[in-house]
A and B are shown apart, each in its own frame.
Chain A
Amino acid sequence: GENVEQHPSTLSVQEGDSAVIKCTYSDSASNYFPWYKQELGKGPQLIIDIRSNVGEKKDQRIAVTLNKTAKHFSLHITETQPEDSAVYFCAASAGGADGLTFGKGTHLIIQP
C-alpha cells in the first residue's frame, strides 16, 4: 500500500518568514495530494490540493509543488502569521473517492 513520509515533525519560524513542509510518497499510482490544517480541538480542514497533472498550485500565501518523478510534494507558506500555527498533514490517494493515506503531521509554530 501507499506510504507517506512527512518532515519535519515540528517547525518553528519567525512571524513573517516562510515555512516549507515536505512529503514523499511511495505508490506511483497516487494522483491526488491534499494538505490539511488541524487547529486545536478541531477536525482537519483542506487548505490546498494538487493533482498529478499539475506541477504547482498557489492560493494567496500558500503554494504546493509536486515532483512526480521524485515522488515528493511540498507545502510553502509565505509571510507567516500567528493564525498559521497548527498541525499540517499531507496526504496521498490513488483515487479521490478512496481513503487518504496521511503523513504523520508537522506542528508549525509561528514565533512572534
Chain B
Amino acid sequence: DVKVTQSSRYLVKRTGEKVFLECVQDMDHENMFWYRQDPGLGLRLIYFSYDVKMKEKGDIPEGYSVSREKKERFSLILESASTNQTSMYLCASLRGGGGSYEQYFGPGTRLTVT
C-alpha cells in the first residue's frame, strides 16, 4: 500500500514564526501536492510538484512556499505564520503516467496559529 506520512498531526505556532510542514511518500511517486482544508470551503490546492526541484503554484499560494529536494519529500513552508493560516493541511502524492490519476493523501496536520 502507498503510504503518505506527515510529520505532525497537530501543531501550534505563534504569529510570525516560520513553520515547516513535512510530507514523505514511500512509493516513488513523481507528483506531490499540498492542500489546505477549511470547513465549508473544501480542499484548496496550495502548491504542487512534478519532480525534484520543480514546483507549480496552485490556487492559493500566497503566504506559502515549498521545497522538494528529494523525490520522496515535499515540504510546505510558512515564512511568517498568520492567524488566517490556521487550518488542516493535507499532503498527497500521485505516480503520474500509467493511466492512474489517483492521489493518495496523508492523514493531515492541523495547524493552529495563535
Contacts and interface: CB of A to CB of B under 8 A. Distances in A.
Tell me if chain B binds chain A. yes
B4 to A, nearest CB: 7
A58 B40 CA distance: 28
A32 B101 contact: yes
Nearest to A32: B101
Contact of B31 (A36, A97, A103): A97
B48 interface: yes
A104 B41 contact: yes
> How large, as a class, is the contact surface on chain A?
20 to 34
Contacts of B42: 6, 89, 102-105
B38 to A, nearest CB: 10
A20 interface: no
Interface in A72-108: 89, 91, 93, 96-105
B43 A34 contact: no
B33 A99 contact: yes
> How large, as a class, is the contact surface on chain B?
20 to 34
B43 A96 contact: no
Contacts of B101: 32, 34, 49, 93, 96-97
A44 B56 CA distance: 22
Contact of B102 (A42, A46, A103): A46
Given A34-B103, A99-B35, 7 more contacts: A36-B105, A43-B4, A89-B42, A99-B45, A99-B56, A99-B58, A104-B40
27 contacts: A1-B59, A6-B42, A32-B101, A34-B101, A34-B102, A43-B4, A43-B92, A43-B105, A43-B106, A43-B107, A44-B105, A46-B103, A89-B42, A91-B43, A96-B100, A97-B31, A98-B48, A99-B45, A99-B56, A99-B58, A99-B59, A100-B43, A100-B45, A102-B35, A103-B42, A104-B41, A104-B42
